[in-house]
Structure 1
Amino acid sequence: MPRVILGTWPTPLQPAEQLSRQLGCPLYIKREDMTGLGGGGNKARKLEFQLGKAVQDGATHVITTGAIQSNHAHLTAAAARRLGLQPHLVLSGTPSEEQHGNLYLDHLMHAGVTFATPPADRPPLEVVNKIMDQVAGTIRAEGGIPCIIPEGGTDALGTVGYILAMEELIQQLKPLGLERKRLLLVVATGTCGTQAGLVAGASVLSSSLDIMGVSVSGKTPIKLEKTARVATETLLLAGYDHVVSQEDIWIEDRFIGERYGAITEECRQAIYTAATAEGLFLDPVYTGKAMAALLHMGQSGQLTSYDAVVFVHTGGLPLLFHYDSVITEFHTK
């Protein structure tokens, strides 16, 4: 399959001794935030295959979508610039005058940006997809060749990258003597692609990992269906004859809060716990909520049946500089 190398592989698997004591179980951090692309993060693995095909097809522009502070949009812009392509981002929401976090980095790279505030009577994704099609039409009219990447980079092509990530992780577990132990893998789940790829990889690599996706948005039944479907489509694209069912998917949805991007007390505490225990920085939208779920499991004795836990750090550092005042407010209470 066409591929461009955008990250530095393998990403480290680091022991977290201080957090392990709090959890009552050995904890390892899979540092997907250290991919070496832009501000770092898991989307680099997906983009290697999606932009590999784009380059093969002669694309000149890359279009994608996400929330205003989207990690995926930021990394797509960074990947496009590395490959000499022009990025254009369709971001959902209304921008403020101040530009922090990922949005600041988007502008620093001179990415084209269109802000979309969907009307209440239409599904947001339907609206932004239509706008991306319009942007692509304009690019074609001007003689360019656009490539559209879906929200979160979640499609079978991009998700292939996480079959490789699972293979990489299993190789890293071998010298630790953990490849055949009972392990729990924890990852934040938004558009479901990363979890789908990890599940797909585990299913064909005979891994004994339990994979828990900690939801940060949306309705769980939809996520279960989507994760199973994308995992199956990814395996088919990668040449495997294997079906993933919804019964194979584990999604924890008690740590979302009021909505996507809304900070919870548990998330804030998890951010401070990781920072003070390990010097590890988590974000309030994805990894902070995933760590909040993991800390809850440790405190309630739910990890005693596992030999170790692997926490997938999917990135998001720039988000800390957008939510800084809200996080600090909690710390000073």
Structure 2
Amino acid sequence: MNPIRYERRRYTTGQTPIEKLERLSRELGGPVISIKRDDLTGLTAGGNKTRKLEYLVADAVRQGADTLITCGAVQSNHCRLTLAAAVREGLKCQLVLTEPEGGYDPQASGNHLLFHLLGAEKIEVIEADGDMHAAMDKLAHELASQGRKAYLIPVGGSNEVGSLGYMACAEEIEQQAWESGTPYDYVVTATGSGGTQAGLLAGFWARNSNTRVIGVNVSRDRQSQEAKVLELLGSTARTIGLKGEPSPDTVQCEDRYVGPGYAIPTAEMVEAVQLVARTEGILLDPVYTGKAMAGLIGLIREGRFAKEDQVLFLHTGGSPALYTAPQLFLP
């Protein structure tokens, strides 16, 4: 037996709920939409990275690390949750952040505020096009010279170990579908670093599920994103011993809702965030779930789904980013 799938910390109590979005479904006149509330996972303010960190931090603890090092944007949800996991485990945490357009503001709100509140040991800010992995390696070497041991976590927690978090989530969705008698035809999720989508695909593959996963890109183009997810799906499958190679046809990404680029607002995103807030009282975020929901709305409006289809939207969290751009939503 390969033990890797069982080496896991537990940061969330029980399953995250699935709720039907009846008012939103009526408003759009489309399929039956439900939402998987992974914004309610454990650790500070929740989000999809919590699931990945359950496996990544277990690996770090197993290796005897005393410090987690990771990287991301100045408002990175992943950095927030990695730091929160370190606090929970009594570890130190250092962050490598990329400078945003317009320059770095050390007094920034949102997740950046939480980095300081949670007590990041060190924050290294590099140029937007800088080499994050080289910067993390440098921090790790500095710690090693002090007799400490770092564990490096890639952007988004998206490697074979981190993807196991969403393999477990796919199995959780299958269990909830069985309990409710509601099999899901589609899961729609934001896709960026790729680990969430690859993990879901691996999990449904392992369960012989017919559920299809549609990733809505938040950064790169469709071809690049599908190749990235497919590569990670294949390596994750090999890590856990799934037989065969994944078919490229199983990876579906939509790049029409990225807009000008990562974390750059779009009118469709603003509409989606407002619509879900005003029909269901649920907060999305402007970087990930807002664009993913804009993608789902766009696909519904163009007739991608049948009216009877059961579509599950994965809420990956990120609401602290709302408070960094109030001008987008104020009259």
Shift of 1:27: 1.1
Question: Which residue type is aligned with residue 172 of structure 1?
Answer: Q
Change (3 A) 1:197 1:270: same
Which runs of 5 or more structure 2 residues have no equivalent in the other structure? Answer: none
Conserved? CA contact 1:66–1:90, under 8 Å = yes
Question: Residue in 1 aligned with 2:325?
Answer: 323
TM-score (normalised: structure 1): 0.93
C-alpha contact (below 8 Å) 1:156/1:230 kept by paired residues: yes
Structure 2 residue corresponding to 1:190, chosen from 189, 192, 203: 192
Q: Percent identity?
A: 39
Q: For residue 211 of structure 1, give the secondary structure of its aligned residue in structure 2.
A: strand
Q: Does 1:233 align with 2:242?
A: no
Q: How far off its partner does 1:324 sit?
A: 1.6
For the aligned residue pairs, the C-alpha RMSD in angstroms reads 1.4
Partner SS, residue 194 of structure 1: helix
1:169 maps to 2:181? no
SS at match of 1:40: coil
- Indicate which of 116, 121, 143 corresponds to 2:126: 116
Question: Partner of 1:18: helix, strand, or coil?
Answer: helix
* Superposition deviation, residue 240 in structure 1: 1.4
Tell me which residue corresponds to 2:225.
223
Match of 2:75 in 1: 69
**Aligned position for 2:154:** 150
Alignment partners' CA distance in 2, 1:253 and 1:266: 13
Q: Which residue of 2 aligns with 1:214?
A: 216
Q: How many residues align?
A: 321
User: Which of the residues 47, 53, 62 maps onto 2:59?
Assistant: 53
Taking structure 2 as the reference length, the TM-score comes to 0.94
1:253 & 1:129 partners in 2: Cα distance?
26
Could you say what secondary structure the match of 2:107 adopts? coil
* Equivalent pair of 1:184/1:306 in contact (CA under 8 Å): no
Runs (4+) of structure 1 exceeding 6 A deviation are none
Cα deviation, residue 238, structure 1? 1.6
2 CA distance for matches of 1:255 and 1:313?
17
Alignment of 1:42 onto 2:27: no
Q: Does 1:92 align with 2:98?
A: yes
Are 1:103 and 2:112 an aligned pair? yes
Residue from 11, 15, 22 that aligns with 1:10: 15
Q: Is contact 1:80–1:87 with CA below 8 Å preserved after alignment?
A: yes
User: 1:148-196 CA distances to partner (integer Å, 9 max, x unpaired)?
Assistant: 00011010011011111101001111133222x6x12100001011000
Native 8 Å contact 1:46 1:160 kept in 2: yes
Moved more, 287-296 or 231-240: 231-240
- Taking the aligned partners of 2:283 and 2:324, their CA distance within structure 1 comes to 14
Name the amino acid aligned to 2:36.
K
State the distance in 1 between where 2:42 and 2:326 align. Answer: 24
Cα gap change, 1:287/1:168 in structure 2, threshold over 3 Å: closer, same or farther? same
The answer on 1:130 being equivalent to 2:134 is yes
User: Could you report, residue by residue, the CA deviation over 1:181-222 in whole angstroms, capped at 9, with x for unpaired residues?
Assistant: 6x1210000101100011111112111212100000013222
**SS of 1:321 mapped into structure 2:** helix
Preserved contact between residue 184 and residue 211 of structure 1 (Cα < 8 Å): yes
Aligned partner of 1:22 in structure 2 is 27
Following superposition, the deviation at residue 306 of structure 1 comes to 5.0
Please report how far the alpha carbon of residue 9 of structure 1 lies from its aligned counterpart in structure 2 after TM superposition. 2.9
Once the two structures are TM-superposed, the CA of residue 297 in structure 1 deviates from its matched residue by: 2.0
Q: Report deviation, 1:22.
A: 2.1
SS at match of 1:301: coil
Question: What is the deviation of 1:255?
Answer: 0.4
Per-residue CA deviation, residues 310-330 of structure 1 (Å, 9 max, x unaligned), is: 0000000111111222332xx
SS at match of 1:198: helix
C-alpha distance in 2, partners of 1:307/1:188? 20
Change beyond 3 A, Cα 1:216–1:324: same
Superposition deviation, residue 242 in structure 1: 3.0
Kindly state the Cα deviation for residue 7 of structure 1 after the two structures are TM-superposed: 2.0
